[in-house]
């Protein structure tokens, strides 16, 4: 007997209609907003003399990587050796791994890529002399050169040297390893919080640039135009401003690394975007492109509905899903009903509890489009997603590589 194989969750085919042809729940990206976001962020970086290396860990969707690269991205940022291998296998030629390369099996993955593809442009981070020694020994024993960047951090933050003195010491350690090439300096401002976050981030960015200038003056870098890079998806305007100086543009390759912008969100990044627009004076910003769609599964009590999706389908780490619109099978996209007055109050593995706003008519089988906060932890719950046009026709399906 041939074994039965369950279809992929969210499976769809180009030309299918989201309202009638796709098993829900489904991961949905709106093409117009996606294209807008990719073009908007690329222009934002380019207008400030910076390059863009979008953080691919957000989606781990090679189809989206290729859209970003086609729009002008310098390369892709990734977080692990496994992610790097997946990106390289799908045609990405330059990766900034904004993380430490630790452990022999992970080093071996990168060594295999570099040995098989010497033109693959790979950079990873270091923040401790012991790590420098380990990388130098591993890659030196294989006759390979590894490009590394110093990670500069903040006290109480994530990884990274905690002081300018540690950065200088680490640069000397790298110089003592023939298999390593120091190609730049990196920081991440997203771990800086508090009432004075903006002021502290500006100071951190200025320190990062000052260190880059100092190391360049000492001849520490292996590149004529070393890389100086930072920026997540919340404070990228402050990083761009620090990089948007004539001496930085001329002497360094300034690289920004936001990731979530590609689909934006309806939560924490929408709120962060308000800050960006206020600080820059721009009128138009990013647009939420990502939704998860689910059916109304049960109406067990007046004013209360159960939706057929849960923690396995949508992020809940930075806020519960947000009901946006209601559709009914057989209707058109234009007949959507606003249900933003409804509230998801709890979420289980495969169920979401929703309080129904007064006056909102729901029936079992209705389709609900839900927004999400923090898109990274929605993407990683899916192996397939679909991109739809204004009429909710599927124009492209894509796979993720988690």
The verdict on 133 and 242 lying in the same domain is yes
The verdict on 62 and 46 lying in the same domain is yes
Tokens of 70: 């086609």
The verdict on 207 and 112 lying in the same domain is yes
- Within-domain flag for 150: yes
Report the C-alpha gap between 16 and 215 in whole angstroms: 55
Instruction: Of 11, 34, 31, give the one whose Cα is nearest residue 397.
Output: 11
The verdict on 230 and 363 lying in the same domain is no
The verdict on 319 and 386 lying in the same domain is yes
Residue ranges making up the domain that contains 370: 287-399
Strand residues in 287-338 grouped as ranges (E): 290-301, 304-307, 322-327, 337-338
- Within-domain flag for 24: no
The verdict on 190 and 133 lying in the same domain is yes
Tell me if residue 363 falls in helix, strand or coil. Answer: coil
Last residue of a domain, one of 261, 280, 299: 280
- Within-domain flag for 241: yes
Instruction: Of 127, 76, 75, 119, give the one whose Cα is nearest residue 101.
Output: 127
Last residue of a domain, one of 280, 315, 349: 280
The verdict on 275 and 293 lying in the same domain is no
Of all helices (H) and strands (E), which one includes residue 99? Answer: strand 94-100
333 DSSP 8-state letter = G
Instruction: Of 390, 349, 344, give the one whose Cα is nearest residue 368.
Output: 344
Instruction: Of 319, 323, 259, give the one whose Cα is nearest residue 286.
Output: 259
- Within-domain flag for 7: no
CATH of the domain at 108: 3.20.20.10
CB distance 384 to 399 below 8 Å:
yes
The verdict on 230 and 274 lying in the same domain is yes
Supply the pLDDT for residue 245: 87
- Within-domain flag for 198: yes
Last residue of a domain, one of 280, 297, 330: 280
The verdict on 159 and 202 lying in the same domain is yes
- Within-domain flag for 45: yes
- Within-domain flag for 25: no
Token look-up 């904004």 returns 98
What pTM does this model have? 0.96
The verdict on 158 and 303 lying in the same domain is no
- Provide the percentage of residues in the chain whose pLDDT is more than 90: 95
- Within-domain flag for 10: no
Contacts of 156-162 with CB under 8 Å at 24 or more apart are: 156/191, 157/188, 157/191, 157/192, 158/188, 158/191, 159/99, 159/100, 159/125, 159/127, 160/127, 160/187, 160/188, 161/127
Supply the pLDDT for residue 303: 97
CB distance 277 to 249 below 8 Å:
no
The verdict on 100 and 248 lying in the same domain is yes
Q: What is the chain's pLDDT, residue by residue, as a tens digit (402 residues)?
A: 555 555 688 888 999 999 999 999 999 999 999 999 999 999 999 999 999 999 999 999 999 999 999 999 999 999 999 999 999 999 999 999 999 999 999 999 999 999 999 999 999 999 999 999 999 999 999 999 999 999 999 999 999 999 999 999 999 999 999 999 999 999 999 999 999 999 999 999 999 999 999 999 999 999 999 999 999 999 999 999 999 987 888 999 999 999 999 999 999 999 999 999 999 999 999 999 999 999 999 999 999 999 999 999 999 999 999 999 999 998 999 999 999 999 999 999 999 999 999 999 999 999 999 999 999 999 999 999 999 999 999 999 999 999
Tokens of 66: 């290729």
CATH of the domain at 369: 2.40.37.20
The verdict on 236 and 316 lying in the same domain is no
């Amino acid at each position: 007997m041939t074994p039965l194989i369950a279809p992929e969750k969210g499976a769809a085919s180009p030309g299918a209609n989201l309202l009638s042809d796709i098993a829900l729940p489904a991961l949905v990206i709106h093409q117009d907003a996606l294209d807008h976001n990719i073009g908007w962020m690329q222009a934002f970086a380019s207008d400030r003399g910076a390059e863009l290396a979008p953080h691919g860990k957000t989606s781990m969707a090679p189809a989206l990587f290729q859209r970003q690269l086609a729009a002008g991205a310098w390369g892709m940022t990734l977080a692990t050796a496994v992610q790097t291998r997946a990106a390289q296998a799908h045609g990405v030629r330059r990766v900034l791994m904004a993380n430490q390369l630790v452990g022999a099996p992970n080093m071996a993955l990168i060594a295999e890529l570099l040995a098989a593809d010497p033109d693959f442009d790979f950079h990873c981070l270091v923040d401790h002399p012991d790590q420098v020694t380990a990388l130098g020994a591993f890659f030196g024993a294989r006759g390979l050169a590894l490009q590394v960047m110093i990670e500069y951090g903040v006290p109480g933050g994530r990884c990274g040297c905690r002081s300018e003195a540690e950065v200088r010491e680490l640069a000397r350690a790298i110089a003592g390893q023939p298999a390593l090439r120091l190609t730049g300096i990196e920081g991440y401002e997203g771990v800086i919080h508090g009432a004075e976050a903006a002021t502290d981030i500006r100071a951190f960015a200025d320190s990062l640039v000052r260190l880059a200038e100092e190391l360049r003056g000492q001849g520490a870098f292996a590149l004529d135009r070393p890389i100086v890079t930072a920026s997540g998806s919340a404070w990228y305007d402050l990083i761009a401003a620090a990089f948007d100086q004539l001496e930085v543009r001329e002497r360094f390759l300034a690289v920004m690394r936001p990731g979530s912008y590609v689909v934006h969100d309806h939560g924490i990044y929408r709120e962060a975007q308000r800050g960006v627009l206020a600080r820059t004076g721009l009128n138009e910003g990013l647009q939420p492109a990502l939704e998860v769609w689910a059916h109304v599964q049960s109406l067990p009590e007046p004013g209360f509905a159960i939706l057929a999706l849960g923690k396995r389908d949508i992020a809940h780490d930075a806020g519960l899903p947000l009901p946006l619109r209601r559709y009914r099978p057989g209707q058109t996209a234009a007949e959507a009903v606003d249900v933003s007055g409804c509230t998801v109050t709890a979420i289980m593995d495969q169920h979401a509890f929703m309080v129904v706003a007064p006056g909102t008519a729901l029936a079992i089988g209705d389709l609900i489009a839900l927004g999400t906060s923090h898109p990274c932890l929605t993407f990683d719950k899916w192996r397939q997603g679909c991109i739809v046009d204004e009429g909710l026709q599927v124009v492209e399906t894509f796979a993720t590589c988690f």
